[in-house]
Amino acid sequence: MKAKDLWSPLDRLGEALHLLRMSGSFYCRSEFTAPWALELPAFEDCLMFHVVTSGQCWLEVEGAERRMLQRGDFALVPHGEGHTLRSEFGIAAAKLFDLPRELVSERYEILRTGGGGEATSVVCGVVRFEHPAAQRLVALLPKMVVVEASSSPHADWTQSTLRLMADEARALLPGGETVITRLSDILVVQAIRSWIAQDPAARKGWLGALQDRQIGRALAHIHRDPAREWTVASLADEVAMSRSALAARFTALVGEPVMRYVTRWRMHLALTQLKEEDTPLGDLASRLGYQSEAAFSRAFKRFIGVAPGAVRAQARPATAQQTVSAGDPKPRR
CATH 2.60.120.280 domain residues, the chain: 12-201
Averaged pLDDT score across all residues of the chain: 82
Assign 326 a pLDDT band (cuts: 50, 70, 90). Answer: very low
Please return the burial class of 98, using the count of CB atoms within 10 Å of its CB with bins 0-12, 13-18 and 19+.
exposed
The residue-averaged pLDDT of 301-315 equals 87
pLDDT higher than threshold 90 for residue 251:
yes
Count CB atoms within 10 A of the CB of residue 157. Answer: 12
Res 6: pLDDT: 42
Assign 183 a pLDDT band (cuts: 50, 70, 90). Answer: confident
* pTM strictly above 0.85: no
Q: Each residue of 292-331: b (16+ CB within 10 Å) or e? A: ebeebbebbbeebeeebeebbeeeeeeeeeeebebeebeb
CATH 1.10.10.60 domain residues, the chain: 207-315
Which tops the pLDDT comparison, 117 or 44?
117
Please give the Cα distance from 116 to 174 (Å, whole number): 31
Q: Which of 3-12, 127-136, 174-183, 293-302 has the highest mean pLDDT?
A: 293-302
Instruction: Check if CATH label 2.60.120.280 holds for domain 12-201.
Output: yes
Fold (CATH) for 207-315? Arc Repressor Mutant, subunit A (1.10.10)
Residue type, 86: R
The contacts of residue 221 (CB under 8 Å, 6+ apart) are: 228, 230, 235, 238, 239
Res 322: pLDDT: 41
Give me the sheet containing 94-95, strands edge to edge.
67-70, 56-61, 83-86, 37-40, 94-95
Assign 193 a pLDDT band (cuts: 50, 70, 90). Answer: confident
CA angle 147, 150, 156 (to 5 degrees): 90
The residue-averaged pLDDT of 16-20 equals 63
